[in-house]
Amino acid sequence: MTYDYEWFKKAVFDLTKINLTAYKEKQMKRRIDTLINKNHIVGYDKYVAELKNDKSKFDEFVNYLTINVSEFYRNPGQWDILDREVFPYSINKYGKNLKIWSAACSTGDEPYSLVMALTKHLPLNQIRIHATDIDKQVIAKAKVGLYSEKSIAAVPAEFKKKFFAQIGPSYQISDEIKRQVDFKEHNLLKDPYPSGCHLIVCRNVLIYFTEEAKVDIYKKFYHSLTPGGNLFIGSTEQIINHAEIGYNRKNSFFYQK
């Protein structure tokens, strides 16, 4: 048997249900080869054996595989649009019990930002964010809610003062914000999507996927949204065939069903 990268992709899927075929191969293979070399292992077959037998190696692999670059209020100008236009529109159209999904939420920066931003429009106890990620390790980090100064740099001063406590060089987000977010593991490539969403936020994640996988995911997001619901994407992304899917492009980063 040839233990090449094609074999490795199948072995990883059997082990983790993560479909490496949906990622840009050159970039992902380079990341994985770097990790294997770092562990002084020769051959994909021997590395898979390590993943099966060593939980710390397995956790390291999943954490390394998932791209976790996140920060609060990333691209503040877009959050300003969310605050001035999208939130008021959504509350006016759907009422105060909004169903908001933060997809591929990484370490929680984004769903927690959504809760804080919504406090300008709704009482805290009426805010509920559904947050998902494929990586259980980053979900665990999100539930802890401890962040670097750099990560919270764009948080409005009023929210920093109200919702964060400094612990050494780090900042702990308050329990009152954490309580409004439900975290769950979810694989965008294979798991069922929630329905009836009024807003879906998925930013700076799909740039790592193939064009075919992106189209499939954008279609699934479309079906997850209720009519008139919005999809909020990242500053480096665009939905080229948005009209074919059924989206109305409101501006560069917001697409409405």
Q: Measure the N-to-C terminal CA separation of the chain; round to a whole number of Å.
A: 48
List, for residues 71-93, the tens digit of each pLDDT value. 899 999 999 999 999 999 999 99
Residue 61 to residue 90: CA distance in whole angstroms: 39
pTM of the model: 0.81
Contact assessment for residue 201 and residue 100, using Cβ atoms and an 8 Å cutoff: yes
Domains of the chain by range and CATH? 5-65 (no CATH), 76-256 (3.40.50.150)
What pLDDT does 11 receive?
94
List, for residues 95-136, the tens digit of each pLDDT value. 999 999 999 999 999 999 999 999 999 999 999 999 999 988
Residue 104 to residue 142: CA distance in whole angstroms: 12
Q: Are strands 225-232 and 254-256 parallel, antiparallel or unpaired?
A: antiparallel
| For the chain, percent of residues with pLDDT exceeding 70 | 98
Which residues lie closer than 8 Å to 60 by C-beta, 6 or more apart?
Answer: 35
List, for residues 34-43, the tens digit of each pLDDT value. 999 999 999 9
List, for residues 13-25, the tens digit of each pLDDT value. 898 777 788 777 8
Q: Which residue has the tokens 């939980």?
A: 55
Q: 43-79 burial by CB neighbour count: b if 16+ within 10 A, else e?
A: ebbebbebbeeeeebeebbbeebbbbebbbbbbeebb
- SS3 category, 229: strand
Burial class (CB in 10 A: 0-12, 13-18, 19+), 154: middle
More confident site: 148 or 70: 148
Alpha-helix residue ranges (DSSP H) falling in the chain: 5-16, 25-38, 44-53, 55-65, 76-81, 87-94, 109-118, 136-144, 157-163, 175-178, 211-224, 242-245
What pLDDT does 152 receive?
93
pLDDT at 69 over 70: no
> pLDDT band for position 68 (50/70/90)?
low
The first and second tokens of residue 65, run together, are 């595989």
Length of the chain (residues): 257
What number of CA atoms fall less than 13 Å from residue 222's CA on the CB side?
18
